[in-house]
Amino acid sequence: MDVLFIDWPCFGRANAILALEQMGYRLTMFSHKDYQERLSHDFEEEFQKALSKRDFKFCFSFNFYPLAAEGCKKRGVPYLALVYDNPHVSLYSYTVIYPTNYIFLFDSQEYQKLKRMGIRTVYYTPLPASTVHNSISAKQNPVSQKYRCDISFVGALYNEAHNLFERLADVNDYARGYLEAVIEAQLRIYGCNFLENVLNNNVMEEIMRVSPYANDKYGVETPQYIYANYFLSRKITSLERTRFLTAIGERFPDQLKLFTLNKEVQIPHVRNMGTADYYEEMPYIFANSKINLNISLKSIQAGIPLRAMDIMGAGGFLLTNYQADFLDYFIPDEDFVYYNDMEDLLTKIDFYLSHDKERKEIAENGHRKVKENHSYERCFEYMLSTSGFRK
């Protein structure tokens, strides 16, 4: 069975390749610099050449790409896409409706939104996680001492100088005050993302004046979608992560290690360890941290973020903000723990740092459920079954 695998440097690439090969599929790797574009004649030509070389059972990619959808439709090859980004603007391409598409989303609210729009090619599934690096092997690794943490956070702070929100610096006083109020309100609410809905006409006119956006003829995404998810959500996430990590540093001095791309970030009493490699370092951090934090990107409305699945997959204890989709697959305080606000987060950190037995039992339960129900093999089996494929 031949599969065309759209190859790009994504998280989970090696895990997906291994899982498909173990399931008996023979992979042909395809890569092209224009894979994210909506129009590229060169991609189209090279992709058609690749598709013509074998009788492919299906084409697969992490995330959905309109050019791949176009090419698969032309040759009648099923296209399976596992989307792990949210937002993912390519989902608003006209190509999403092609009948050869089978697009799997990890955020149930985004899935429901597209279904309500009449899109019949989308499906829902939680993201998979590797359990190859389990807690025992990670803790026995001779270099793992570097990654031993009381508390760890692995992720971006979205505080780079060129972030999109800074493009709105010149809006008028009314719009600035309105956006600041919206940001502060959304910071206090979990389980409901209202950003798109509250960008009214007056504010949108001012935003568009200082930082215009218009979709091209190949997509139907609205300006509200772009500003809410790419401008505001990332700014809110930056503020939330920075505030929470600062509060943890104050309450638990020098007990929190931050693994992030920006080595220049300084938070009082927090150790910035720099970036961590997804395969070679992150599993050991997760397995060797007493408490692993997940502070979700605000544009992920209900879904279980990849970071959270990877933490449990590595046998780590997960302390996360509330995300509704967790409750469909895991039991709070049995498989993972969630917090409601900053004070609740600090209280639960204090409790689980001093209650080893309870913390370890929760980590073991979460790891077992991920291993049994959310491996890459299980995820592919579900996607293939849902798509109607049989080997």
Beta bridge partners of 40: none
For residues 182 and 144, the model is more confident at 182
The domains of the chain, with CATH numbers, are 2-128+376-386 (3.40.50.2300), 135-160+232-373 (3.40.50.2000)
pLDDT band for position 162 (cuts 50, 70, 90): low
pLDDT band for position 295 (cuts 50, 70, 90): very high
Note the pLDDT of residue 214.
85
Note the pLDDT of residue 131.
86
Given a contact cutoff of 8 angstroms between Cβ atoms, the answer to whether 153 and 258 are in contact is yes
pLDDT of residue 140 exceeding 70, the answer is: no
Q: Which of 131-145, 163-177, 214-228, 289-303 has the lowest mean pLDDT?
A: 131-145
pLDDT of residue 378 exceeding 50, the answer is: yes
Residue (of 375, 336, 313, 339) closest to 248 by Cα position:
339
Q: What is the pLDDT of residues 337-357, one digit of tens each?
A: 999 999 999 999 999 999 999
Q: What is the helix (H) or strand (E) element at residue 319, kind and residue range?
A: strand 318-321
- pTM score, whole prediction: 0.94
Chain-wide mean pLDDT for the chain?
94
- How much of the chain exceeds pLDDT 90, in percent? 89
Given a contact cutoff of 8 angstroms between Cβ atoms, the answer to whether 259 and 152 are in contact is yes
Measured CA to CA, the distance from residue 385 to residue 215 in angstroms comes to: 35
Q: What is the helix (H) or strand (E) element at residue 293, kind and residue range?
A: strand 289-294
In single-letter form, the type of residue at position 1 comes to: M
